Chains A and B, each alone.
Chain A
Amino acid sequence: MAAIGVHLGCTCACVAVYKDGRADVVANDAGDRVTPAVVAYSESEEVVGLAAKQSRVRNISNTVVKVKQILGRSSGDPQAEKYITESKCSVTEKNGKLQYEMDNKLVSPEEVAKLIFSKMKETAQSALGSDVNDVVITVPFDFGENQKNALGEAAGAAGFNVMRLIHEPSAALLAYGIGQDSPTGKSNVLVYKLGGTSLSITVIEVNSGIYRVLATNTDDGIGGVCFTEALAQHLASEFQRGYKHDIRENPRAMMKLMNSADIAKHSLSTLGSANCFVDSLYDGLDFDCNVSRARFELICSPLFNKCIEAIKKLLQQVGLTADDINKVVLCGGSARIPKLQQLIKDLFPTVELLNSISPDEVIPIGAAIEAGILLGRDNLLLEEEALSIECSAKDILVKGVDESGSDTFTVLFPSGTPLPARRQHTLQAPGSNSSVCLELYESIGKCLAKEEDKFAQIVLQDLDKKEDGLHDILTVLTMKRDGSLHITCTDQDTGKCEVITVEVAS
């Protein structure tokens, strides 16, 4: 049994296969692990992938790029309008649907997406050697119902059996298996996705292995293309300096330069310097230029600032500080840029930066893992209400004292835990005492519990005194779906036990 996960991005598509408990990205027939999401139409055939991207210089009006931006949108949509004005191929409206006009035939965005999905399916099948239909597809968090439907339709037309559409940031978390090993505990994870055309940052709370999006922000104004563009502009000015020709007005030359800049940008992520070489760039003149990483970083520093500012803004919006983030997951091809990783590390000095999986493969791998989880399950259909689950509203704390004698509070039952849930703790008390008192508080947020937040106390009397030992108090908290709490405290030595049940104030 195998299943696959597909990520269709604005610029690139990637497929990962789940087999024998492992999820791996598979390379396409050209040997690339990531396929450009570009489709070129010609008289007789449709070309998907690298070949289409390379021939775009010659066939610009019949080559579709960034189809994801228009998928499932209608003509009134400002995003669609923006896309139409930027697009090099003509987009018309027919029967209320937007369609590309290619060589006098109309092609809907769904058909373009279908071709890309077919290509992905082919890739996965050739790697597996068998037919595979079950798939999990990722969608951006801001995708609406129409867009999801359009994407699902396209995947269905490509012969896929879509088991579920999941959000890209959650897929990224799943790829690193965050919260999957042990279902207890609570942490905040920041997903930083810098894709080809957009930057999206999401803060996800992981509680009991379940993900909840706290906040998300997508900026369509910045993406990997911006870096390439900046570099290409620099190269153009270099060319102008050397040959006194301004090629910025020449779209063909600029496109050649963009391709070269793209390659240079990629190599600068691993090498200290890269060479840009374009044959016959303009007027039969060859162009040759060396770009160092430091130069690249200098050119792009305003862009880097923009990328980092977005994180700060989002954290401010949710009211979290950098310390509240436990992990940062990087995804999207442009998150490879070393300078960017450095800047993020500076912003979160104590936080683990997860980049062991190649950033542009994180999302498809997560999707494939989810596909593996869903494989063989019968009722995959989720109702809307299934996504809304009961969670505990407040932290449950217990008051204790530390060595210096001041009060400390320990969280026994964090807020946001999916209910019903049971948490078990072994609390310790000094062995010299013959009794133990657990004072229980509830609180919200990070503010310390006050005296009026106390809702119960549990007292265990007549314990065996141990001069140089500790009392182990096993505390089990069980919260039901309505939020009522049941606490059992047991002294491990004597077996003395106290039980309380706390109802919710109505």
Chain B
Amino acid sequence: MLQEAREGQVTAVTSALSAASVHCQVEPVGRWFEAFIKRRNINVSASFQELEDEKELSEESGDEELQLEEFPMLKTLDPKDWKNQDHYAVLGLGHIRYRATQKQIKAAHKAMVLKHHPDKRKAAGEQIGEGDNDYFTCITKAYEILSDPVKRRAFNSIDPIFDNSVPSKSEAKENFFEVFSPVFERNARWSNKKSVPKLGDMNSSFEEVDAFYSFWYNFDSWREFSYLDEEEKEKAECRDERRWIEKQNRAARALRKKEEMNRIRTLVDNAYSCDPRIKKFKEEEKAKKEAEKKAKVEAKRKEQEAKEKQRQAELEAARLAKEKEEEEVRQQALLAKKEKEIQKKAIKKERQKLRTTCKNWNYFSDNEAECVKMMEEVEKLCDRLELTSLQYLNEALTSTTREGGKAAVVKQIEEVNEQIRREKEEAEARIRQASKSSERSTSSGGGGSKNWSEDDLQLLIKAVNLFPAGTNSRWEVIANYMNLHSTTGIKRTAKDVINKAKSLQKLGIFIICVLLCLCNSFNFPFKNIICCLFPSCFHLQEGKRTLVLGNACLLSGKRSYFVSYETAALLQSADAVQCKTSGQFPATKYHDATLYTSHTENIYSSKSPGVWLINYPKVRGGWALSYRPLLHHGK
């Protein structure tokens, strides 16, 4: 129950609503959701739909006062030629034509029938044509066409008063919008889609213009030309004939439809080429691009300048730092020299002092021979003793009597002698050991890896490849070859060579395992093509050994290639990683294979391009290895 209004209360809004609408996530389920989305997509609200319905109703009620235009030629029409008549004009709807609603057509027909029915006219004493020859047949035909949506559409398609013309380019030179706007509006009626975009004016945005042309270039027309069919299917007497007629008609319609599409296309093409806005946009685009390009160049130049400046500054700083360092070093050297001189002087002084004290005490002896011996000993002391111990000794000498001084000196002498003896022994031991080791090394043939220089390794590899397995007494030949060509002059026996080659081989297998691990742990780009390397003492023809390697690769489930060339040697010694090229790959070519240059940033390479150690900064800063598949490229 509602309340009664109090005295003085009036309709009023006291405050605005405090909260606006909120967005909620809903489930895309159910017919009401579909209805809601549909409404939203066509921008109609639920509450206003009914209003619209009402509006439509009122429009239809307006039809009651439909004004019919009398067609003056009506009575002269030939019913036989009905196909060429204007059905709208016949029904008196010449002024609204295709916009007429079904209701209007019905009403118009009714009015026409009331007026022109033969019975009515007969009563009025008019002359009536025989049977179908009366012009009333035209009205019946017109209604027949217009009341059927399909036939009506067919007739609408070939509307006799529709202007099919397309303005030429020259017409639109000056007043583009005035010429083309009505043409597009006229043709918009053929569109299947409602809401045809308007041509707009000079101030239309790029999006609008773009939407307009894309709509018209993809124009979807409902226009069809079945009305112009020359043969009527219904007239056929048998199925075959009917089919033949259908075929004829279809071909004719397709042709006309094509012509129609061409017409639209020409229209849009003409418009597009004349459109001053398109020209404007193109120019703008061009200008924009140029500006961008300029800006880019400018930015690049600036960047380079900045870089150059920085580099200069860095160089300067480095130079200054170096100079300073050098200065410091010089200063220090000077200081050290001075100190040394001071020390030297002091030592000299102390020695002199020792000598004089000893002399003063007559070398602690009265005997001449003893005296001479003591003198020698004291000289030795002077030679061997450090500054501090000399000072200490001198102090001891000055503070004691002759006997005490003697004891101190003797003690020192003994110490020094002991030291000299120890040194001698050590030196002897060293010499002994050295001779022993040299003996051992000569017995084992001098095969220590120390003796294998980089050049020798390369030579060995070359030799191994030169004399493949099966060569008569292969290792002797190799050894000879090595001795002949080696620059180091070390003589090697066959045993040495074999040992070295074997160790390289072992290293090779170990390396493969490491590589596979590496490749797996990095997201190695050549994941599926693992190139398997092996020490150069392997020869590709040595089936057995390559098999071992192949198996290793198969185990990892990768495709394998075999790479030779000093790889083991390269990995073994760090000096083999020789040239460091920053940023660029050396344009080295080996055989016919160009080296991989993609993804590389810092490349450390050896002289031989068989193996590349490539730093992939993107792959967790780790090392990845890339191999060139030699075998793949033939020999």
Contacts and interface: CB of A to CB of B under 8 A. Distances in A.
B3 A392 contact: no
A380 B320 CA distance: 73
Interface stretch (A74-82, A97-105, A455-463): A455-463
Interface stretch (A61-69, A127-135, A229-237, A431-439): A431-439
Interface residues of A, number: 82
Contacts of B34: 373-374, 377
A480 to B, nearest CB: 7
A444 B19 CA distance: 10
A437 B30 contact: no
Nearest to A136: B29
Interface string A466-506: 00000101000011111111000000000000101111110
Interface stretch (A269-277, A314-322, A393-401): A393-401
Nearest to A457: B12
A386 interface: yes
Contacts of A420: 45-48
Interface in A345-397: 366, 370, 373-374, 377, 382, 386-394
B10 A459 contact: yes
Contacts, number: 194
Contact of B24 (A388, A473, A504): A388
B17 interface: yes
A212 B17 contact: no
Interface string A285-315: 0000000000000000000000000000000
A402 interface: yes
A504 B30 contact: no
B18 interface: yes
B3 A386 contact: no
Given A388-B25, A498-B11, A210 B32 contact: yes
B16 interface: yes
B29 A429 contact: no
A386 B1 contact: no
A484 B13 CA distance: 13
B81 interface: no
B40 to A, nearest CB: 8
Contacts of A39: none
B25 A387 contact: yes
A144 interface: no
Given A437-B5, A459-B5, A459-B10, A502 B25 contact: no
B37 interface: yes
A400 B2 contact: yes
Contacts of A419: 21
Nearest to B6: A437
A429 to B, nearest CB: 4
A204 B27 contact: yes
B27 A481 contact: no
Nearest to A209: B32
A455 B31 contact: no
Contacts of A210: 26-27, 30, 32-33, 36
B14 A455 contact: yes
A174 B29 contact: yes
B165 interface: no
A433 B46 contact: no
Interface stretch (A113-121, A147-155, A164-172): A164-172
B558 to A, nearest CB: 15
A394 B2 CA distance: 22
B204 to A, nearest CB: 27
A164 B28 contact: yes
A402 B2 CA distance: 9
A483 B10 CA distance: 24
B81 to A, nearest CB: 43
Contacts of A209: 30-33
Give the most central of A164, A420, A427, A505: most B CB within 10 Å: A420
B17 A442 contact: yes
Nearest to A166: B29
A401 B21 contact: no
A500 B23 contact: no
A15 B3 CA distance: 56
Contacts of B20: 393, 482-483, 504
B220 to A, nearest CB: 14
Contact of A402 (B1, B10, B16, B33): B1
Given A166-B29, A370-B29, A394 B47 contact: no
A307 B136 CA distance: 82
A211 B15 CA distance: 32
Nearest to A396: B17
Contacts of B13: 455-456, 500-502
B22 interface: yes
Interface string B606-626: 000000000000000000000
Interface of A: 164, 166-167, 170-171, 173-174, 179-180, 183, 204, 208-213, 366, 370, 373-374, 377, 382, 386-394, 398-403, 416, 418-422, 427-430, 433-439, 442, 444, 454-461, 471, 473, 478-485, 498, 500-505
13 contacts: A166-B27, A167-B27, A173-B30, A208-B36, A209-B32, A370-B29, A370-B30, A389-B26, A391-B24, A418-B24, A429-B3, A479-B21, A505-B15
Given A418-B26, A456-B14, A458-B11, 19 more contacts: A208-B32, A210-B26, A211-B33, A370-B29, A373-B34, A382-B28, A390-B21, A390-B24, A401-B1, A420-B46, A421-B47, A430-B4, A438-B2, A473-B2, A481-B45, A483-B17, A483-B21, A501-B13, A505-B15
